[in-house]
Chains A and B, each alone.
Chain A
Amino acid sequence: MADPYKPRAPFAPWDRRDLPGLFDVEETARRVGNYKWAEMKLFEALGGWVATVPELDVKMRLGTHCYKHAWHAELWHKRLPELREMNPDRLTVPANDAFVAFVEGVTEPEAPGLTIEKLVGVYRVFLPHLVGAYTFHLNATSEITDAPTIRSLKFILQDDMEDWREGEMLIQSLIETPEEVDRAAAHQARLEKLIVAAGGVAGPGSIGRQPASV
């Protein structure tokens, strides 16, 4: 065995984590507060829709995904006090009014015949944008100072990628006619415009900003 008292490099050669990150504590807390608000709206909507969809398989999946987003909201809720925000409710807010309008658009469909619209809003617009914002955060934050956020992001992204696929496959299985293709596309476009106006889940810069000139 190697001499245990021989000095070793603190970072192993394969550990390439770096110190700098794009977000300070305040900006991280702001983003995390937006994520928590978004996850809450998502799990509340999925829970509410369970009783409104006649399709038994969709009903069960909405119940399952409802819990996952509640758990994500809980992870963010617990992260906020660690980011010097001792009153997590204060930062549990939407990124801006345009994002509120987007969530209203997503959660508007209620009638039993609107399962396609419900699923399109979540799995073709909301969730992809959430995945985008989380991926940017994961790639942009300090790999050392913000390790707890990274850990949560990885758990959440694993859930979201699985759910995204599952939701997309449900949509594909429900769309059977050209008219339904149009319905799905029209609803997606309407919501996409709303979230573009909001700048994403965490507002402008949710997935970073393009430099002024390349």
Chain B
Amino acid sequence: MRTFLPVEDLARDDRFVRYTMRERMADKRASARIDAKERSKTSNRITPDRRDGADAARGLMHGILVGEIQALEGAGRTCHDFRVTGIAERGPLATQPIADAAPAAEVPFALKLDMARQAWDEARHVEISVKLAEWMGSDIGSVAENTVLFEAACSTDPVLRLAGVNRALEGLAIDVFTTMKEFGELAQDPYLAFCEDWMLADEVTHVKMGSDWLRSLTANDPARRERALEFQRVVDKMFSFGGTRSDSMDSPIGLARRFRELAGFTDDEVADIAEVSLQALNERKQSIRAARQSSAHSTAGIEPAGFEPAGIEPAETA
């Protein structure tokens, strides 16, 4: 088996439909499909009282399901793709060229143990998500799968993997699960709230693993740490695209500050993410206003709709 499996080779059964981040970004429907009058005037947060609340939650749940599958795959690959520091390699890894990151392609034994533990946790999350998706009335494959999480797990530097997956995407998972848990509580759905509560506990653990390894592996290598944090920022920004997640009630998903603190984010780091996501939200509002103004010019007589940000883009989270 090769090390470093390309994202195109992720194995799925026939139910799944895949689309890329590029296709997602280019999808014009994301900014044009919304009629604000259909929804609450005061908040875009996914709540049961939104008229499209059930659909939004179902879409998000499917995003969670495929995110969990990719998180499982990513953690598994990290168990496999790197040599263990101190162990003389025998067999295929001994002769296989390790892409372009030879010095980084070693990890401590304990890091692999953490990743194996995460693989088990993510396997449980897939089990939970399959059952929850069924409970909420959606079928596997009913929403297209974006494989960006696994793409972040393809980095040849394990520190970048942990920054991108464990800190950025699993951090987003904390935000998503908090929102879904609140949704479950508001909807008086104890099944949903119960499951999200448990998954949230695991995700805080995964993010903390990422924070701890990032700090310890780069303790004497500030340049590598900076590269990893930059990679994390890129992934964070990607998922703040369209203002899907921010402190503002205009975002469907909130920023779970308290759980992020537990997971090892510093106050400054949380503030950074809050700023990036708010910026993304404002950019989104701006671009929608501009688009509506130009369409108003060309469609005189049609009342322009109010603002609605990214809506219910299903976020792939772990």
A residues apposed to B, CB below 8 Å: 37, 40-41, 43-56, 59-64, 66-71, 73-74, 77, 89, 92-94, 97, 100, 103-104, 107-110, 112
Contacts and interface: CB of A to CB of B under 8 A. Distances in A.
Contacts of B87: 37, 40, 89, 92
B88 A51 contact: no
A62 B11 contact: no
Interface in B268-305: none
Provide the main secondary structure of the chain A interface. Answer: helix
A55 B109 CA distance: 29
Given A48-B76, A55-B13, A63-B72, A94 B116 contact: no
Given A60-B126, A70-B113, A47 B76 contact: yes
Interface of B: 1-3, 5, 9-13, 69, 72-81, 84, 86-88, 90-92, 109, 112-113, 115-117, 119-120, 122-124, 126-127, 130, 140, 150
A64 B123 contact: yes
Contacts of A60: 72, 123, 126-127
Contacts of A55: 13
B120 A67 contact: yes
Nearest to B71: A63
A163 to B, nearest CB: 12
A51 B123 contact: no
A43 B11 contact: no
Contacts of B2: 110
B81 A48 contact: yes
B72 A50 contact: yes
Interface centre among A64, A71, A104 (most CB of B within 10 A): A64
Contacts of B116: 43, 47, 66-67, 69-71
A92 to B, nearest CB: 5
B113 A48 contact: no
B119 A67 contact: yes
A99 B90 CA distance: 10
B117 A67 contact: yes
